[in-house]
Structures are given as C-alpha cells and as structure tokens.
Amino acid sequence: MPATKAKPAGKRSAKPAPASSKAIAAPKSYKPLDQERIKELLKRLNAAYPDPKCALTHRNAWELTVATILSAQCTDVRVNMVTPELFAKYPTPADLARIEPEMIEPDIRTTGFFRNKSKSIVGAARKVMSDFKGKVPDTMEELLTLPGVARKTANVVLGSWFGKAVGVVVDTHVYRLSRRLELTKSDSPVNIEQDLMKVIPQEKWIDFSHQLIWHGRKICFARKPDCAECPLENLCHAADKTWSTVPIHKTAKP
C-alpha cells in the first residue's frame, strides 16, 4: 500500500483547534484581576500600540468636543468626513452660538441622530460662550455642564487634549473588551469605568482606553474576533473566542 502523502502545513496548522463552544471551568487559582496579569496585559498593549492617539481629527479642545459628541452611534471615520466642512463654516464656539441648531443639521446628517446632536453642539457652544469665556473648561465638573457632554466625552477631551487622567473612556470597544478580558462584570458604562479605575494604574488610564479602542478596531471585533492574531490571546478566556490555547470561561462575555 503506498504511503500517504502528508498535507502541506498551512499558516496556522501548528496551532490547536478552535475553541469549543462548551465552556471549560476556570482553574481555581485563576484571578482575572491579579496584578501580574494586569501588568502583562498592559505590557502587551504597549508593545502592540506604543503611541496610541485619539482617532478623531481635531485642532483644539472645542473641535474635539464637537467631534466626540458626533461620534455617538457613529464611526470615527464618518465623523472625520463631516467635521472639516462643519468647522470651515463655523470655526469657533462663538460662530455656532449665534445660529439655531437646525442650521447645522444638513452638515451632520450622516452621523445619525443629527437633530439631537445639533441641539447639543449649539447648546454646548452657547454654554462655553456664556459661562467659560469662549474656552472649553478643563475639569470634569465643568465639562459635564455642557449640553451633550457625559463622562465619555469629558474623558476624551480631558485625556486627549488636556492630558488629564481623570477617568477612563468607555466607548463600545472598551465596553466589549474589558468584559471579554474579565476586567469587569458590569454592563453599565459608568460602573465599568469605576471597575477599570480600580485595577488600571492612573498613569495608564489615557493610553489604556485608546489601546483598547484600537485593538477593538483591528483585531478584537464584535463579531468573530481574530483571536489567532491577538497578542493577548493566551491571557483571554472570552466565551466568544474564535480560537483559543487556554480554557474558555462562560462568564467572560462582551
């Protein structure tokens, strides 16, 4: 009988089979919030994304505030397509404070929820002019007084423009990845932020959120994450992994 010809090795032939859909119990010694595990996560994120930046195009704190308001339920790519023309027409808060919200609706329509966003942007411009002498404030308390600005937007502005690590940005990527990585069990962005602030060193808060956002865009997708190419793979036990070298934990869900 002739010898069977071996099949040529593929790109990932040496790796184990994809993770089973059946969850495997976590080892008793496993502690997802162990400081050594956190340090290793941060080390690998730093190596993969050494100089993370906000993906929203902006030239000043006001433009970043507007862009972040527009980014709700919208991709950064789309926002970056809209803002150049918007800022060309209305370069400053003073320019937007003088108009009615309906006037910018056509300019931001493609970002979705454009009526609410137009009201928030014009309202924020008026507040900046009336209460802050035309300058975007640099404290969490003051930023939260601006229409359309909640903690996520405030954290983006404080971290990316003012360099202040007051909190952790929790967008859809950070929400999903922090749950997959078992850094939180909460399903509330406010509580997720508090959980992350407890385990991530404050000096890493700004970069950490940007790194998770970039990782979510490039590898850890909402559907079918590319686990075989993930630098965090053997530190992750997520229930929806597409490929795994470690046990799967049924509670690690996005």
pLDDT tens string 181-201: 999 999 999 999 999 999 999
Please name the residue that has the structure tokens 């229930």.
Answer: 239
Residue 171 among the catalytic residues: yes
Q: Which portions of the chain are predicted below pLDDT 70?
A: 1-28
| Distance, CA of 176 to CA of 172 (rounded, Å) | 6
CATH number at residue 207: 1.10.1670.10
How many Å is the Cα radius of gyration of the chain?
A: 22
Q: What sign does the dihedral 90-66-212-113 (CA atoms) show?
A: negative
Please identify, among 141, 160, 179, the residue that sits at the C-terminal boundary of a domain.
160
Please identify, among 102, 128, 160, the residue that sits at the C-terminal boundary of a domain.
160
The structure's pTM equals: 0.86
CA-to-CA separations, 135 to 63, 73, 124, 161, in angstroms, rounded: 11, 26, 11, 13
> In this structure, are 228 and 177 located in the same domain?
yes
Within-domain flag for 9: no
> In this structure, are 114 and 194 located in the same domain?
no
Q: Where are the alpha helices (DSSP H) in the chain?
A: 35-48, 61-70, 76-89, 93-97, 105-108, 114-131, 140-143, 151-160, 172-180, 189-199, 205-218
The per-residue pLDDT for 113 is: 96
Q: How many CB atoms lie within 10 A of CB 200?
A: 20
Say if residues 124 and 148 touch (Cβ distance below 8 Å): yes
Q: Where are the alpha helices (DSSP H) in 7-137?
A: 35-48, 61-70, 76-89, 93-97, 105-108, 114-131
Catalytic residue among 117, 127, 152, 241: 152
Q: How many CA atoms lie within 13 A of 26 on its CB side?
A: 15
> In this structure, are 67 and 128 located in the same domain?
yes
Determine the structural domain holding residue 207 and report its residue range: 35-52+168-235
Identify the CA nearest to 55 among candidates 225, 215, 227.
215
Domains in the chain, number:
2
Say if residues 198 and 192 touch (Cβ distance below 8 Å): no
Q: How many CB atoms lie within 10 A of CB 16?
A: 9
The one-letter amino acid at 133: K
> In this structure, are 112 and 46 located in the same domain?
no
Q: Give 195-243 pLDDT, tens digit per residue.
A: 999 999 999 999 999 999 999 999 999 999 999 999 999 999 999 999 9
Within-domain flag for 194: yes
Catalytic residue among 76, 107, 127, 171: 171
